[in-house]
Structure 1
Amino acid sequence: MTPALTPAEVTTNLVAALFLIPIVFGFVIKAPQLVALGFIGVLFTFSDSTWGQLTTETTIYSRGSGMFYFSLLNLVLLTAGFAALLKRLANPVGPQLAPSMGKYFAAFVFLIAGHVVVGLMEGIELNVILGYNGIFNVINMMVFMYIVIMAFDSEEDSRALLWMIILLAAARGVFGAVRYFVFDGDTANPYRNFEGLDIKIFYFDISDNFVASVGAFCAAWLLTSPEARLGWFKRALLFGFLVLEIAAVALSFRRSSLIGLGLMFVFLFLRIPGKRKFMFAILGAALLAVVASIFYEHRLQFNNNESMLSSLIYDIAPERGIRNSRFYELYAAAQSMDGNWLFGRGAWGTFTGDRDRLSYHGDDFSFVHSGFGHIVLKAGIVGLLLFCGLLAAYVSFYRRHRNALSGDARLMADAGFAGFLFWVPTLLIGTPIIEFRTMLLLGLTLAMPFIAVGVRNVQVRRYQYDPNYAVA
């Protein structure tokens, strides 16, 4: 529980917040790249998950939540989003940021507004309605997506974004490697601290696994793309970086991360020109064999030592039945809907079930381990259709434009879509909707193809104005 603030601390935080608002407005209007890069720097550097630690610690993402409805970082995000909206309204003839997504953003704002009205009528406190265990992080995700799209609207800015992603992933990977090989790994280690297994892990936070995976994808893309003309020294550095990031995912022992990384590399295989597929397949198979053996030896054998596959699906195997499998949680949540399937149980809604089987929940039954299931619990089939429509619009946009892109724009779009594929297993069996950091990183992946297409459109307009300008 967050300790109560003293009157002096309340006054200091309030003054700091009021002083910060005009500064954020100024940066968003004049230098939105700095605001977006600042957020990305924080998201790529600081973990959010404290599950698995023996002692509870606050993170940068929760600072200020004891005084305000939202954390200070979230307040900065919302302030920046409002400033971006004013900037957009001041220039309505400018290019649209993400036209296919606007109606879904408006629908979710309307949906949450409805939850606020109904919740207050039922006597639910506003901080509970707008809490992170509801669906407000969907708004945070889309606000961040729009800020990033608006910030990186030129070739130079998009290139800076790509290099920042790669450099931050490398720095985070080196930090994790030193902590893993020299010290005792991540302190957030439920396998050791809660289950008593003699395992140390690279990262437990799924978002740290995403940072490593997107870094690995960018390195592999550059190593396999015929457009990237790299010397042997740069190739050696990129290959070392690739191995480091894959090791980070493998030694984190998160099944959803490993499956997500696999989806990213299957996607890359499909995007590689025909002549390079064979070499990539050989290299990929070798790395997969090493990763699978490490994963089985250090983690999966504790689940079931019959085979690799049975160990991987030990808690969802059909013979376990619904009541003894991981899916019991979703079954219990479905049983608790009580005729609220259309609009859900509200952002404040909870479910009930066998407390012994759901002991990992503690006393908090306001979320389920499935992003899609969580949306259904809170906002019903209507909310699920809106969320799936949003993702479908994103996929459609990428598929429509991917073959017209080249160079850095192609890498930007491919890395964004690959990042989305990484999040698919987490959306199915994880808890992304209630995690501020996770949803903002998902928003980054949604923004990247829109940035790439926007940069491409700028290149085309420049070429039409000046035929001597070379479109990459």
Structure 2
Amino acid sequence: MITPPLTSPSEVVTNLVGALFVIPIIFGIFIKAPKLVIFGFIGVLFCFSDSTWGELQTSSNIYSRGVGMFYFSLLNLVLITAAVAALIKRLANPAGQPVAPQMNKYFLAFFFLMLGHVVVGLMSGIDLDVILGYGGMLNLLNMMLFMYLVIVAFESDKDVKLLLFTVIALAMARAIFGAIRYFVFDGDSANPYRNFEGLDIKIFFFDISDNYVAALAAFVAAWLLTTPTLRISLFWKVFLLGLLALEIAAVALSFRRSSLIGMALMFVFLFLNLPGRRKIFFAMLAAVALASVAGVFFEQRLQFNTSGGILESLIYDISPGRGGIKDGRFYELYAAAQSMEGHWLFGRGTWGTFYGDFGRLEYHGSNFGFVHSGFGHIVLKAGIVGLVLFVAFLGAFIRYYFKNRKYLTGTALLVADAGFAGFLFWIPTLLIGTPIIEFRTMLLFGFTIAMPFVGVAMQGYQYRRYVAAPQYAPTGQLDARPA
């Protein structure tokens, strides 16, 4: 979550000068070589944490630069600039391939919904910076913009393979950094379990986005190891097994239940798509990994929550013994629902808050402008209308993936599968986390949604280059065009 830092005069001048020089450069670079800008974003998103919750002393980070001076952070301004450049480039070539037309109506719907909130908010005397704050719905639009930019930037075989290589390299570098910090030093400084709850544990990564990066790399490694059509050397098998173990350890030692459940969903999806014989080997390997992860997870964190078993520990704050919805973890959602009277259709506005028992909501501090549920947050801000639009957007993504998967092979299939698996990872966070208010999280979610579109575009590129011109087609090329 981005909060405006206190900005000194020197920082104001630095940010202004930086914006005046960098933004036009970004515009020009995206027009000429869009993938360079997107690689820059991916480098930042994969390598820099956004979470400050759990730190004893909160400080600004790369995602909050410029917020004290502009309505948006500098990174957000770069994102908007790149999106404008992409639009101009598209208008200059209207005959080109359409960019994710299945999603356009949802982007326009959210844009006009946001515009309506701006109009109503200004008429109600709400400041524009509050209406457009990151605690509202702005990151839904940021997510969709980044999704479009990723789709536009990558199409050819070479570009997509470079994208996969970059994802693996950055995820491995990030995991090595986390491992050194965990095993040699004191782990992540953003550690609410130790700093706020007094639990004597270290954590690998607290930011859910770091867990996503690790889980995504683990999925890609497992996909490459188990796909029946790929033959890899012993060296690469050992490398991928090491990468898989490192990334699973990064998620397990972060002690985030939503991350573990999300990663489990990713690997269940991979298991279901394997042929029969490979399912047996994968199930045995997964059982060993699951037993190890569950044992470490229970010993290091969940032992502090209950004297029962692992299952009881996992649901210690939502179990029936907690007294029902009014007394368990979901009291926050209950309180938010009680605050929605008369606002169910369009929500309480991007600036809206809820109210409840301040004692039981002490962990919120003084900020009641969000709830621990992505879906619930959308209802709070944009009502049933916003929730229906978002669910329809996700439904369009799921339909697109399953409609086109049967046409994909090789790298295109890996990219698409990784995107859908990443979507499965985010489901627990959408249910019980706070993704909508987090800039980094929502851009990575947009990256996830874009990946199947990138895979299909790559297959289409191969079709146009090889099948449509068979005299240049190498042996074993495609014989079907994606729908």
Secondary structure, aligned partner of 1:282? helix
Asked whether the equivalents of residues 371 and 377 of structure 2 are also in contact (C-alpha less than 8 Å), the reply is yes
Give yes or no for the alignment of 1:301 onto 2:303: yes
Matches within 5 A, 1:14-25: 14-25=16-27
Q: Partner letter of residue 60 of structure 2?
A: T
Residues 1:2 and 2:22 are matched in the alignment: no
Structure 1 residue identity aligned to 2:117 = H
The residue that corresponds to 2:327 in the other structure is 324
SS at match of 1:324: coil
Moved over 4 A (4+): none
Q: Distance in 2 between matches of 1:237 and 1:311?
A: 35
Deviation at 1:141, TM superposition (A): 0.2
For 2:159, which of 137, 157, 160 is the aligned residue?
Answer: 157
Name 1:141's counterpart in structure 2.
Answer: 143
- TM-superposed CA distance for 1:272, in Å, is 1.1
1:232-381 superposed matches below 5 A? 232-320=234-322, 321-381=324-384
Q: 1:455 aligns with which of 449, 455, 458?
A: 458
Whether the 8 Å contact between 1:5 and 1:66 is mirrored in structure 2 is no
Residue 102 of structure 2 aligns to a residue whose secondary structure is: coil
State the distance in 2 between where 1:12 and 1:176 align: 31
Q: How does 1:125-136 map to 2 (within 5 A)?
A: 125-136=127-138
Find the residue that maps to 1:377 and give its secondary structure. Answer: helix
Q: Is 1:79 aligned to 2:81, yes or no?
A: yes
Distance (Å, rounded) in 1 between the aligned partners of 2:378 and 2:179? 36
Deviations 1:1-58 (A, max 9, x none): 622431x543342232122222111111101010000000000000000111111111
**Count, aligned residues:** 471
Give the aligned partner of residue 465 of structure 1.
Answer: 468
Amino acid at match of 1:346: G
Matches of 1:201 and 1:4 in 2, distance apart?
31
Q: What are the Cα deviations for residues 315-336 of structure 1, in whole angstroms up to 9, with x where unaligned?
A: 1112321122110000000000
The answer as to 2:424 corresponding to 1:400 is no
SS in 2 for 1:346: coil
Cα drift, residue 465 of structure 1: 3.0
Q: Deviations over 1:218-238 (max 9, x none)?
A: 000000012221111110010
Partner secondary structure for residue 406 of structure 2: helix
Counterpart AA for 2:273: R
**Which of 217, 220, 228 is 2:219 aligned to?**
217
Q: Could you say what secondary structure the match of 1:101 adopts?
A: helix
Distance 2:469 2:143 in 1: 38
Deviation at 1:434, TM superposition (A): 0.1
Aligned residue identity for 2:396: A
TM-score of the two chains, using structure 2 as the length reference: 0.96
Question: What is the CA–CA distance in structure 1 between the aligned matches of 2:49 and 2:372, rounded to whole Å?
Answer: 19
Shift of 1:337: 0.6
TM alignment of 1:164-175, pairs within 5 A: 164-175=166-177
Are positions 1:99 and 2:101 aligned together?
yes
Q: What residue identity is the alignment partner of 1:137?
A: N
1:367 deviates by 0.2
3-state secondary structure, aligned to 1:404: coil
Q: What residue number does 1:441 align with?
A: 444
- Report how far residue 463 of structure 1 moved: 2.5
Residue of structure 1 in register with 2:481 after alignment:
none
Amino acid at match of 2:73: S
Deviating more after overlay: 52-61 vs 458-467: 458-467
Does structure 2 conserve the Cα–Cα contact (< 8 Å) formed by 1:105 and 1:139?
yes
Cα distance in 2 between the residues matched to 1:227 and 1:128: 53
- Counterpart of 1:31 in structure 2 is 33
**What amino acid does structure 2 have at the position aligned with 1:274?**
G
Given that residues 5 and 67 in structure 1 are in contact (C-alpha distance below 8 angstroms), is that contact kept between their aligned partners in structure 2? no
Hey, what's the Cα distance between the residues in 2 that align with 1:171 and 1:373?
35
Between the aligned partners of 1:168 and 1:14, the Cα distance in structure 2 is: 30
Measure, in 1, the Cα distance between the counterparts of 2:72 and 2:190.
Answer: 24
Name the SS of the counterpart of 2:101 in structure 1: coil
Structure 1 residue runs of 5 or longer lacking an equivalent are none
Q: Mapping of 1:22-61 within 5 angstroms? A: 22-61=24-63
Shift in Å, 1:466: 1.9
Deviates more, 1:457-466 or 1:244-253: 457-466
Which whole-Å CA distance do the structure 2 matches of 1:273 and 1:106 have between them?
41
Residue identity matched to 2:86: A
Helix, strand or coil at the partner of 1:56: coil
Q: Is the 8 A contact 2:5 2:64 kept in 1?
A: no
Which amino acid in 2 is paired with 1:265? F
Q: Deviations over 1:229-252 (max 9, x none)?
A: 111111001001100000000000
